[in-house]
Each structure stands twice: as structure tokens, then as C-alpha cells.
């Protein structure tokens, strides 16, 4: 017996003992491989338009316009940085089953944008920034700035594009879409007014917004705030020592009271900036957390677009105007 054991290679024995003889293992393996295929069939066709979006902000906008005629799913959950998002197997399934796909465009989604452009050959896939007036778009060297949602008026225009595409795909629900859109656009107009009023309460020379990365360019442009960031437009790029020193000078010279951390970017950059400024004897505090590339958790007030903008503006006003706290 022993000599026989020694003669046959261990590997063959292992295969025969554990893989071939054990039918149960084989069956389980087959189950695991075939189950995904069967499951991908098991979706029921319903009247609701199945829409997939990349960011939560686009999902929120689409849901508000589509109402109960659409079912919206966002690929990126709250707190996910869209620049660094990695696709999962489930995302593939969601994209395959979608009737309609909306993404931000302007390279917010990075390499995924190429995929969307290729998908557009077969499926209705739209960049919501497609019909924005080019003169309203900001540029960072040659790259466009994708963070359009912080200019409420610009976001409303993106909403009009979504309304157009939804109506095109489901003409019978057009009335309902338009009704929803009118109501929601009114809310956006009110929000825009409110933001202007709130920002006006901050003294002109104190309207400086300093965060970790340049997500608030459109916000600054629309509501006349000077925006400065440590990192460039993409959160993947590192900042240089020179950037840090320039920012420190601006803070000390203008007597800036607060800087801000962002929900989807690590706070360590801002913390190191704080240390640097405090070393020069200037009092600086963290004004609070701003939502930049992703919204808050679902169910909280910041879990939808209107609440997210309100939270950001409240945080800014509190910290910069020096009233409360």
C-alpha cells in the first residue's frame, strides 16, 4: 500500500480524492457557476422604467422628475468618491438590466466614461451634462470641471435634459414627468434664492472657502465665493509643498477663520494644513464637514440633494460669518 502511495504523484491522488470522487463538491461548483446565469434571467418586466445612474445626486434628480413611473438605482453609494470608484459584479448586472442610464460626464466617472460612450451604441445612455451651455462650464487647464451640481441653476438645466430624455422614452408618462419637474424645479429655484440670501450674510472679505479638493468651483462662481483647494480637480492627484505654502499665506493674510473637510475625501490634508497655520500663530478651526462628491446616508436630511446643499450652506455661514458657535 505504502509503495503504491509513493509511486502515484500526490497531485493526482489529491485530484481524485477531493474533486472527482466527491460528487457533492462538483455539484456545488456547478451550482455556483450556473446560479449567476439563471438569476440574471429572473427579473420581471414591469411598467416602471428601470434607470441606473452613477452618482446619488443624479439618482435623486431623476427620481424627483420621474416620480412613481421610474425606479432609480445609483451605482455609487453615499460616501464613495466617484474618481476612485471600482465596479463590482452587481454593478454589471444593474447596468445590463437598466432601460436607461444617466451619468454625469465631463470625466467625473474617469475611464468609465469611455465605457458609457461605447454602451451608447446599443443602449440609451446619456451624460446629463451633454446640453449644458458651454460658456457656463468651468475649465481646469484643458479639463472641464465636472462638479456641476453645486450651481443650483446649472443643476436645474441638467434636470431639464433628464426630463427631455425621460419623456422621449416614455411618451405616455410625459404629463406626469412634466408635472413633477415643474414642482421640483420650483424647489430648486427657491433653494437658489435661499443660498444667495444666506451667502450675502457673510462679509465680502470673509467669503473664502478652503477645502481639500476643488469640488466647489461652480459653487464659488454662482454665489461669488472665492474657492481654494489643496488638491487639483481629481482626488487622485497629490498636492505639492508649494500649494500648501500658498494656501497658508492666503489664510494668514486674509484672516480666514475656518477651513472645511469633505465627506468623501480623507481629512488628513486639511488637518496638516491646520497644524501648519497654527504654527504661525493664526487661529484656525475646522468649520465642519461639507458634502462634495457624494451625498449623506439615505434617510438623513443630507441624503437628498436639497438637504445636502442646505447643510453645506448652513455650515459655511456658521463658520465664516462668525455668528454662532
Helices (H), 69-120: 89-97, 112-119
Judged by beta carbon, residue 37 or residue 241, the one nearer other proteins is 37
Asked if 111 interacts with other proteins (CB under 8 A), we say yes
Beta carbon of residue 181, minimum distance to other proteins (angstroms, whole number)? 30
Beta bridge partners of 33: none
Question: 44, 46, 142, 204: which one contacts other proteins (CB under 8 A)?
Answer: 142
Nearest alpha-carbon partner for 90 in 101, 74, 70: 74
State the binding string over 29-58 for other proteins (x if CB under 8 A, else -). x--xx-xxx-xxx-----------------
* Number of residues forming the site for other proteins (CB under 8 A): 36
Asked if 26 interacts with other proteins (CB under 8 A), we say no
Asked if 96 interacts with other proteins (CB under 8 A), we say yes
Which of helix, strand or coil describes residue 292?
coil
Beta carbon of residue 141, minimum distance to other proteins (angstroms, whole number)? 4
Beta carbon of residue 212, minimum distance to other proteins (angstroms, whole number)? 21
Asked if 89 interacts with other proteins (CB under 8 A), we say yes
Beta bridge partners of 74: 53
Question: 141, 172, 238, 283: which one contacts other proteins (CB under 8 A)?
Answer: 141
CA distances from 29 to 18, 32, 36 (A): 13, 5, 12
Residues 6+ apart with CB under 8 A from 290: 211, 216, 260, 261, 262, 263, 311, 312, 315, 316
Question: 87, 130, 200, 297: which one contacts other proteins (CB under 8 A)?
Answer: 87
Asked if 243 interacts with other proteins (CB under 8 A), we say no
Beta carbon of residue 56, minimum distance to other proteins (angstroms, whole number)? 17
Residues 6+ apart with CB under 8 A from 107: 113, 143, 144, 146
Give the interface segment with other proteins, choosing from 81-89, 218-226, 241-249, 279-287 (CB under 8 A): 81-89
d(CA 141, CA 213): 15
**First-to-last C-alpha distance (Å) of the chain:** 83
Dihedral angle, C-alpha 228, 289, 109, 163, nearest 10 °: -100
Beta carbon of residue 123, minimum distance to other proteins (angstroms, whole number)? 9
d(CA 276, CA 252): 11
What residues line the site for other proteins (CB under 8 A)?
Answer: 2, 5, 9-11, 14, 18, 29, 32-33, 35-37, 39-41, 86-92, 95-96, 107, 110-112, 115, 118-119, 121, 141-143
Amino acid at each position: 500500500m505504502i509503495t503504491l502511495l509513493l509511486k502515484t504523484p500526490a497531485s493526482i491522488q489529491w485530484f481524485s480524492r477531493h474533486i472527482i470522487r466527491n460528487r457533492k463538491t462538483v455539484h456545488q461548483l456547478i451550482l455556483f457557476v450556473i446560479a449567476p446565469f439563471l438569476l440574471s434571467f429572473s427579473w420581471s418586466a414591469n411598467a416602471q422604467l428601470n434607470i441606473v445612474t452613477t452618482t446619488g445626486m443624479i439618482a435623486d434628480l431623476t427620481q424627483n422628475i420621474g416620480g412613481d413611473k421610474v425606479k432609480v438605482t445609483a451605482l455609487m453609494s453615499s460616501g464613495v468618491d466617484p474618481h476612485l470608484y471600482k465596479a463590482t459584479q452587481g454593478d454589471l448586472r444593474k447596468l445590463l438590466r437598466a432601460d436607461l442610464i444617466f451619468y454625469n460626464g465631463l470625466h467625473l466617472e474617469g475611464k468609465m466614461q469611455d465605457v458609457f460612450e461605447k454602451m451608447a451604441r446599443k443602449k440609451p445612455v446619456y451624460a446629463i451634462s451633454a446640453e449644458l451651455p458651454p460658456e457656463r462650464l468651468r475649465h481646469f487647464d484643458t479639463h472641464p470641471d465636472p462638479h456641476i451640481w453645486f450651481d443650483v441653476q446649472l443643476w436645474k438645466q441638467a434636470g431639464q435634459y433628464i426630463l427631455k430624455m425621460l419623456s422621449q422614452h416614455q411618451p405616455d408618462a410625459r404629463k406626469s414627468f412634466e408635472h413633477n419637474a415643474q414642482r421640483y424645479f420650483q424647489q430648486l429655484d427657491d433653494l437658489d434664492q435661499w443660498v444667495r440670501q444666506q451667502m450675502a450674510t457673510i462679509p465680502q472679505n470673509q467669503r473664502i472657502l478652503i477645502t481639500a479638493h476643488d469640488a466647489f468651483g461652480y459653487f464659488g462662481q454662482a454665489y461669488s465665493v472665492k474657492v481654494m483647494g489643496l488638491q487639483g480637480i481629481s482626488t487622485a492627484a497629490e498636492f505639492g509643498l508649494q500649494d500648501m505654502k500658498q494656501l497658508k499665506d492666503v489664510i494668514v493674510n486674509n484672516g480666514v477663520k475656518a477651513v472645511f473637510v469633505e465627506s468623501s475625501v480623507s481629512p488628513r490634508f486639511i488637518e496638516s494644513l491646520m497644524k501648519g497655520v497654527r504654527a504661525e500663530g493664526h487661529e484656525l478651526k475646522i468649520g465642519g464637514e461639507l458634502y462634495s462628491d457624494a451625498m449623506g446616508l439615505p434617510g438623513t436630511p443630507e441624503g437628498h440633494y436639497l438637504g445636502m446643499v442646505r447643510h453645506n450652506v448652513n455650515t459655511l455661514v456658521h463658520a465664516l460669518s462668525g455668528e454662532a458657535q
